[in-house]
Structure 1
Amino acid sequence: MERITQSQIVMLFVIFFYSSIAGFMIRPLAKASGYGSLWVMLAGGALGLGWIYLSVAFAKRRPDGYLADYGREIVGRWLHVPLMLVIVFFALQLSAFVLREYQDFMVQNYLPGTPDWVVSGMLGISAAFAVRSGIEVIFRFAQGIFILVVISIAVTTAMLGYQVDGHRAIGFFTRFDVREIWEGAYMVCALYAEWVMVVLFFPKLKESGRTFRSLTGAALLGTLFVLMLQVPTLLLFGSELTTNLTYPLLEAVRYIRFGDFLENIDPMLVAIWTTCIYIKVCLCLYVSVFVLSRLLRLDSVRPLAFAASALMIGLSQQMAHDAIELNDYLQNAAMTFGLAAMGVPLFYYAIDSLKSRWLAGKRH
């Protein structure tokens, strides 16, 4: 109990946020809002932090208990179990989704001809070992590579700065379409809502009362790091070309020409980014297994780790026929499903507040 520090929370969730946006979300955000991406990040971050604040406020009511355990006291067992299973499936599906995106990325760009299941299988099995080791190991691993992530972002931004067209910067201030900004902010808010997972293992945190402050710091750092990559990419390619590139940031990194030594820097950066993806997959898989283990009244997640990993790998292979179908799911359903699943703690919060007021009124 109480083994995860607040600094580890900041580092892991910065990596958690950066891993998806840097690799897979720059194109969808550019498609949704173009040069308005700057305002999208700010608006989506504000909405996401509001979501997180309410969820953490609920967890602080019972800081020593797990939602998977005490939730039945709030809504009743017959509603509690299905709601928890929604979270179990969402976390498992999210880990499978990220795994599939990573698989498609690697096979298309670096491992052509490699069977798809090999890439996802290797990462999935590694994630199972991490889950068996415990959540503390996942957070410590994130803490260990955080400095490498910061250095890679700083180096990439500095190098892209020599290549960009500064005249395009005016687009960030002249393009302000409310409908486009809302569409992009909705996606960013859904990414922040994934952080509500912290509520599910709240008793494992040291100084849990400071959790929202730590997550706010992580949001500010994560937004800054993403903008350090997103803005130069838009300035380099423009809004229209960025929308038509499958992996805009990768193309931007490959565009860098800064001496013979640094012409092939993208494999090094991809290696660091792969580690970030691994951390996100591990945390999502752990949350899925942990909540299920609490429902089954198991003392440890270890008996379920490899079975859940196998299910994750299989789901990643079957969830879409190709990258186009996967991208359609991302833009049309994934964000809404994520907000619905991570809204479950808010539902408990609402019911718990109503019951508390009703009992208080009854006493008077």
Structure 2
Amino acid sequence: MKTGANKEQEGGCKMKAGNGLTNGMITSGQAAKLLFLFALGTAALIVMTTVVAIAKQDAWITTLVVAPINYWFLLIYLKLAERFPDMTLAQYTEKILGKWLGKALLLLYVFFFVILSALVLRNISDFLVLSILPTTPDWFIAVSFMLVVIYGTYLGIETIARTGELLFGGSILLMFIISALLLNQFHIENFKPVLYHGWEQPLKGMYPLIGFPIGEFVVMSMVLPFVRTEDRGKLRKQMKLSIMLIVFFSFMLSVLLIGVLGVEETMRSPFSIFDMAKTINVQDVIVRVEVTVAIVWVSTVFSKLILSFYASALLSAQVLGLKSYRPLIFPIAYFVVPISLISYRNSAHAEHFAKIVWTPYSVVMGFIIPLLLLLLAFLTGRKGPKNSAQPVPTAVETSNAELAGNAQQSGSGQAGESTPS
């Protein structure tokens, strides 16, 4: 005889045939919005400055030329997700390479996701300390954000996706409002001469974008298996739309930065979009808009941080063969915070690290290895089972299972009546 908790847990394992309301499953639209927020989080505020420094007034061309690369990277993860439905990066890597070789490779991905989480956390603390909270210790900001990330990760991917939907709408609206308020300061002459040095500089400007954030898109390989089965037919279309939005807003940001601040001012500014928002002043009525920009931007980067951290916890749990990622949340956070504080000494060191280390590293982890996995899967004919179970129980489902086990041990029959909110 099954208790209520056992039935609930069993229902969680049959999500594909259910109504999609069980915690832990998301829609294709939510996955696309998470990709958008992930891409334009730290990239919008930080990387565009580097792109302008390389490509100068032709940085807007770079954002268009790099567009196909965005989709090529993502297409690999989509192909793997289609070939191995309901399987995460951890699961199909072991299926393709075998248990031990697969686990060895996955340890590199665990390290990659942990370092990525630490770097994003450092981006947030640096921005707040340098721009808004100069007297606040960076460790306090890092710990405060990490506590929120821990709670969000505990709740699971569905909560993360729903939060992303809210932030997606707010960030889109803010971008259009900021653009409208900056039109009176726009100088078209800042774009002249076009292609003065030929195509060399716009093409070189692609380099930082490929590593940051395009190479980091591999995080989505830990999210795509959670898209509802009945909604997966729309996944590729939704992802294409997301890439188009990423390209459009990257283009718009580059145009605004060059047109409003100019090349020299953009190159000098560590947070150029924030500084650009400072220039908004409409009849001394609409002022201090940069504070709103900062709030929305930090919220957007938070989406990237929590998604990276969630991927590291989930991947670690699967490598270790655990039934839940929850026990690993605090241990991983314990490493992420100090790594974020010691990752680099200053902005010059950060730029050197991104150029020499992170970009090639993310290309290997985000493009070369997934491409090799896809080729090996085709050559060996390996595919995922058509009716596989959900990759890993979510926090809510795991809690239900734990409650059921506790109830059975104590002889109680009411284990399935309580779940965390």
User: Is TM more than 0.5 here?
Assistant: yes
Corresponding residue for residue 346 of structure 1: 371
Cα distance in 1, alignment partners of residues 243 and 216 from structure 2: 12
Residues of 1 paired with 2:349 and 2:278: CA distance? 26
Q: Which runs of 5+ in 1 are unaligned?
A: 358-364
> Residue type matched to 1:349 in 2?
L
| Secondary structure of the corresponding residue to residue 162 of structure 1 | helix
Structure 1, 249-258 or 210-219: larger mean CA deviation: 210-219
Shift of 1:139: 0.7
Pairing 1:314–2:338 present: yes
The more displaced of 229-238 and 68-77 is: 68-77
1:150-189 equivalent positions in 2, closer than 5 A: 150-171=172-193, 173-175=194-196, 177-189=198-210
Alignment of 1:173-252 (within 5 A): 173-175=194-196, 177-190=198-211, 191-206=213-228, 207-252=231-276
Q: How does 1:118-157 map to 2 (within 5 A)?
A: 118-157=140-179
Q: Which amino acid aligns with 2:155?
A: S
User: Does the Cα contact within 8 Å between 2:73 and 2:217 map onto a contact in 1?
Assistant: no
Residues 74-105 of structure 1 deviation map (CA, whole Å, 9 limit, x = unaligned): 21223211211111111111111111111111
Alpha-carbon offset, residue 296 of structure 1:
1.2
Q: In percent, how many aligned pairs have the same letter?
A: 23
**Structure ranking higher in helix proportion:** 1
1:316: how far off? 0.2
User: Cα–Cα, structure 1 residues 319 and 256, in superposed 2: closer, same or farther, change >3 Å?
Assistant: same
The aligned counterpart of 2:86 is 64
| SS class of match (1:60) | helix
Q: Deviations over 1:108-128 (max 9, x none)?
A: 111112111011111111101
1:276 is matched with which residue? 300
Is contact 2:42-2:123 (8 Å) kept?
no
Against the structure 1 CA distance between its residues 78 and 176, is the aligned structure 2 distance closer, same or farther, given a 3 Å change threshold? farther
Residues in 2 aligned to 1:210 and 1:41: alpha-carbon distance in whole angstroms: 26
Deviations 1:59-82 (A, max 9, x none): 211113233123223212232112
Q: For residue 290 of structure 1, what is the aligned residue in structure 2?
A: 314
Partner deviation per Cα, 1:43-73 (whole Å, 9 max, x = no partner)? 2221121121123112211113233123223
Q: Which has the larger radius of gyration?
A: 2
Amino acid at match of 2:73: W
- CA shift, 1:36, in A, is 2.0
Is contact 1:60–1:209 with CA below 8 Å preserved after alignment?
Answer: no
In the TM superposition, 1:22-61 aligns within 5 A as 22-61=44-83
How far does the alpha carbon of each residue in 1:14-34 deviate from its partner, in whole angstroms, 9 at most, with x for none?
Answer: 221221222111211111211
- Residue 98 of structure 1, aligned match among 117, 120, 125: 120
Are the aligned partners of 2:117 and 2:308 in contact in 1 as well (CA < 8 Å)? Answer: yes
Instruction: Give the superposed CA RMSD.
Output: 1.8
- Given that 1:96 and 1:312 are in contact with CA atoms closer than 8 Å, whether structure 2 keeps it comes out as yes
Could you give the per-residue CA deviations for residues 264-312 of structure 1, whole angstroms, max 9, x where no partner exists? 1111111111110111100000001101101111122111112212211
**Separation in 1 of the partners of 2:240 and 2:210?**
14
Does the 8 Å CA contact 1:92/1:284 hold for their aligned counterparts?
yes
Report what 1:76 is aligned to: 98
Query: In the aligned structure 2, how far is the partner of 1:73 from the partner of 1:100?
Result: 35
TM-score after normalising by structure 1: 0.92
Cα distance in 2 between the residues matched to 1:36 and 1:157: 19
Residue 361 of structure 1 corresponds to which residue in structure 2?
none
How far has the Cα of 1:176 moved from its partner? 5.9
| Change in CA separation of 1:175 and 1:137 when aligned onto 2, cut-off 3 Å | farther
- Give distance in 2, aligned partners of 1:112 and 1:67: 40
Structure 1 contact 128–309 (Cα < 8 Å) conserved: yes
What is residue 260 of structure 1 aligned with on the other side?
A: 284
**Paired positions, count:** 356
Structure 2 partner of 1:9: 31
Q: Could you give the per-residue CA deviations for residues 155-201 of structure 1, whole angstroms, max 9, x where no partner exists?
A: 11111111121222344x43463332232223223322322322234
Alpha carbons 2:58, 2:202 under 8 Å: kept: yes
Distance 2:287 2:168 in 1: 25
Does the C-alpha gap of structure 1 residues 64 and 249 become closer, same or farther in structure 2, counting only changes over 3 Å? Answer: closer
Secondary structure in structure 2 of the residue aligned to 1:320: coil
- Displacement over 6 Å in runs of 4+: none
| TM-score normalised to structure 2 length | 0.80
One-letter amino acid of the structure 2 residue matched with residue 284 of structure 1? S
In the alignment, the residues of structure 2 paired with residue 6 and residue 176 of structure 1 have an alpha-carbon distance, to the nearest angstrom, of 42
